[in-house]
Amino acid sequence: MPRPLNAAARQRSWAEAGVRLWWMSAIAIALIVAYLTAARVLSSIRDRSLQRSGIPVIATIERIAGRHQQSRGTPVPVKLSYTLPDGRQFIDATEHLLDATNNEVILRAKDPLPIRVDPMDPTRWTEDRDRGSIFRSLGVSIALLPIVLLLLLLAMLRRRSVLAVWRSGEPSEAVVLSQKSSALAPASQLVSISLVNDLERRVVSVLHPRKAGVLSKGDTLWVVAPQGKPHRAIEAKLYMEQSTKSE
């Protein structure tokens, strides 16, 4: 008879190593997406504001990423020289051109380039051109979103597999062979165990939370695993309701 899917089992299944790896990866990439999105949106807002309020100037391209010409398909470091209406001259080698929609356009050294210069900080400029929708600058973020969704899907599939082990796996006593800290779950021990009923005495690992008690070599614990597949073992008491554990 399958074991019930109680609250403890539903919660603990997310913490198993094979599940945790995928959802933690999804969160990490989601944070990267959020950072890239925020950075590009803020940069786009600043550029659009500067394009509205900046001083129009025709700059001269002195050098393009160390070359004499470059396709407009990607942002590239450029060295510009420009003169403000009041006669001040500037050379800037740190800014980047924005992406262009037409990859066939070639920029060459000594070409003119319309820019807008910040009147409060003349070293700050932006290209004076039609930028289109702000979403055009979010290509990398949009490309990463399917990866986040895929990782979450893998986490849910692995969790379903773990819950299937809890419901239908065979109980077995296991002996602790060694333990060490887990980089994946710092609050847990990565415990190497051998199932007593495994004739091959295969060594497998389970995550054991320190709050459930610290395990040492020679200790025993009960696990649940599919027949003949000790590598899928999970610690039984972590999936049991508190009232059941105390009985």
Both ends of the chain: CA-CA distance in Å? 20
Q: Which amino acid is at 134?
A: I
Q: Which of 8-17, 83-92, 151-160 has the lowest mean pLDDT?
A: 83-92
**What pLDDT is attached to residue 74?**
65
In 3D space, the residue among 135, 138, 113, 117 whose CA is nearest the CA of residue 126 turns out to be 117
What band does 100 get if pLDDT is binned at 50, 70 and 90? low
Q: Tell me the average pLDDT of the chain.
A: 87
Tell whether the torsion through CA atoms of 201, 207, 213 and 216 is positive or negative: positive
Q: Which residue has the higher pLDDT, 107 or 70?
A: 107
Q: What are the start-end ranges of the E strands in the chain? A: 55-64, 69-71, 78-83, 89-92, 106-108, 112-117, 125-127, 170-181, 188-195, 203-209, 220-225, 234-235
pLDDT at 247: 45
Cα gap 240→243, rounded to integer Å: 8
Find the mean pLDDT for residues 14-31. Answer: 96
Q: Give which of 172, 173, 204 is closest to 191, Cα–Cα.
A: 204
User: Where does the pLDDT of residue 103 fall: very low under 50, low under 70, confident under 90, or very high at 90 and above?
Assistant: low
The pLDDT of residue 61 is 85
Which pLDDT score is estimated for 246? Answer: 46
pTM: 0.77
- Which range, 62-66, 101-105, 206-210, has the best average confidence (pLDDT)? 206-210
pLDDT exceeds 70 at position 105: no
Give me the pLDDT at residue 66, please. Answer: 64
Q: How far apart are CA 194 and CA 180, in angstroms?
A: 16
Percent of the chain with pLDDT strictly greater than 70: 88
Give the pLDDT of residue 17.
93
Taking the CB of residue 75, how many other CB atoms lie within 10 A of it? 13
Confidence of residue 123 (pLDDT cuts 50, 70, 90): confident
Model confidence over 175-233: pLDDT tens digits?
999 999 998 899 999 999 999 998 889 999 999 999 999 999 999 999 999 999 999 99
Q: CA 169 to CA 162: how far, in whole Å?
A: 10
Work out whether strand 203-209 and strand 220-225 pair parallel, antiparallel, or are unpaired.
unpaired
pLDDT at 97: 63
> Interior CA angle at 216 toward 214 and 217, to 5°?
160
Mean pLDDT of 156-170: 96
User: Residue with structure tokens 């740190």?
Assistant: 94
Most confident of 74-78, 130-134, 152-156: 152-156
**Residues 132-159, mean pLDDT to the nearest whole number:** 89
Q: Are 108 and 61 in contact (CB under 8 A)?
A: yes
Query: Which residue has 């990490």 as its token pair?
Result: 28
Q: Binning pLDDT at 50, 70 and 90, where does residue 79 land? A: confident
Residue labelled with tokens 């389970």: 206
